[in-house]
Structure 1
Amino acid sequence: MTEENAIDPSPSTASPSNFPRQRKADDNKDKIRLKLILANGKTHEFFFTPETTAAEVSKHVFENWPEHWEQRASSHQILRLIYQGRFIHGSMSLGALKLPVGKLTVMHLVPRERLPGPPSQGETDREKSSEGRCNCCSIL
């Protein structure tokens, strides 16, 4: 081998194995970093664009179910996202939730056939009637 054909082994030489790591970070800087937590406490991170809907997130997660999560849901259609204590409707995009791009957001993922309905009229009336009053009793 001549000196012209020799490969420089010095650390300053960029190796192709360094490029995918940098490219991956660059690819995800415009995406929402979503950490999903199951009821059993197991977590996994995914990356999504702001245009991705909750239904698309559920389908992607179902199709790319992490091995360490073990028990897989029976269908992507029953997977529901919970963000800040509220179920997210399937047509809601991550961008509509104003999730920060490039930063970590945490949501829960639960299997559930249907979303809970709005409160019944009786529950709403009870909440209104107790507004501004203490819900305790006094014994004289």
Structure 2
Amino acid sequence: MSEAMLVTLLLLQLKHLLADFFWQTQWMVANKGQYGHPGGWAHAAVHGGASLVILALLAPIPLGLVLAICVAECVLHYHIDWIKEQAVKRSGAGPTEKRFWNITGTDQALHQATYLGMVALIFL
């Protein structure tokens, strides 16, 4: 694995931390479970936009392909979050219950798998 791959993956993971936990607004959180709501799309767009900046600077591929990858990430992120919200709602679990954290951990693992896929697509 090249240094550029590792740096890109690290920056995508740091971006994820910021976008999912520091930059996400209550409006985004409250509306991710309502399919098609602008709050969920805005959250996903923050992810896609921040990834666009990272990849535009680091990825050794044409900008058009970077844009396509980031749009795909945005769509995937939106749907992973929406499915997580549906699973939490259907489970009836809250933050004090193991089921809630199993669902949340799966959500986070899927986002990280998305970044691995993006890096593999770009660098391999």
TM-score with structure 1 setting the length: 0.28
Compare the two structures and name the one with the higher strand fraction.
Answer: 1
Q: Looking at CA atoms only, which structure, 1 or 2, has the larger radius of gyration?
A: 1
